[in-house]
Structure 1
């Protein structure tokens, strides 16, 4: 869809810090992260919500989400991750996407209040994307 920013990122028409680009999905850093390294995983084909994703694509999509969660932990030394998805309500872009947010104890995240941050520079954001992509390298051949 030409008016969907995520479709435009997938097509390479809008710049993003991509950490993984595979046939099932594309993962890139959230421009307004809850915590630095907050990554969005989107299916390559445009589907607005989880209920719109064809059943055959659910497993492969969530396998990518699982890989990104592992990369966030290992690549960013996070104690864990918060994985979330909105469907219509609070969905800022109407293209299915899973949030994978790095978590650490006492990081200040409480309930569903998500304070947003900004990267200090494009270079810092690129460094986070590089670290996550590097953490995915051993898993590339799986």
Structure 2
């Protein structure tokens, strides 16, 4: 999608600090972090939201979230972690 910020980051058209990536997903630090290590995980295939993403892609994102959480635990030793997804304007 030409107007999707996340697609532009995946394609390397916008700068990002990449934490981890594989053939299906990309994890990168949030430009406006809420806390240290605030990382976004996105599929490499455009999906507008959780209603649009395929079950397979959703699973690949979940796998990457698990891997990133382990990295952040090792690197930052946080007391906890939040895993969050927002779909729709009402959700944030």
Taking structure 2 as the reference length, the TM-score comes to 0.90
In structure 2, distance between residues paired with 1:8 and 1:90: 25
CA RMSD of aligned residues (A): 1.5
**Which position in structure 2 is the counterpart of 1:32?**
32
1:1-142 pair list within 5 angstroms:
1-89=1-89
Q: Show structure 1 runs of 4+ deviating over 6 A.
A: none
Q: Whole-Å Cα distance in 1 between the matches of residues 10 and 91 of structure 2?
A: 18
Change (3 A) 1:90 1:22: farther
CA deviation after TM superposition for structure 1 residue 10, in Å: 0.5
In structure 2, relative to structure 1, the CA distance for the partners of 1:90 and 1:27 (3 Å cut) is farther
Counterparts of 1:62 and 1:70, CA distance in 2: 13
Instruction: Specify which structure has the bigger relative contact order, considering alpha-carbon pairs within 8 angstroms and separated by 6 or more residues.
Output: 1
Hey, what's the Cα distance between the residues in 2 that align with 1:46 and 1:16? Answer: 17
The alignment covers a number of residue pairs equal to 92
Distance 1:11 1:90 in 2: 29
| Unaligned residue ranges in structure 2 (runs of 5+) | none
Q: 1:28 to 1:83 in 2, by over 3 A?
A: same
Normalising to structure 1: TM-score of the pair?
Answer: 0.60
Does the CA-based 8 Å contact 1:24-1:64 persist in structure 2? Answer: no
Aligned to 2:89, what secondary structure does the other structure show? coil
| Contact 2:43 2:60 survives alignment (8 Å) | no
When structure 1 is superposed on structure 2, of 53-62 and 31-40 the one drifting more is 53-62
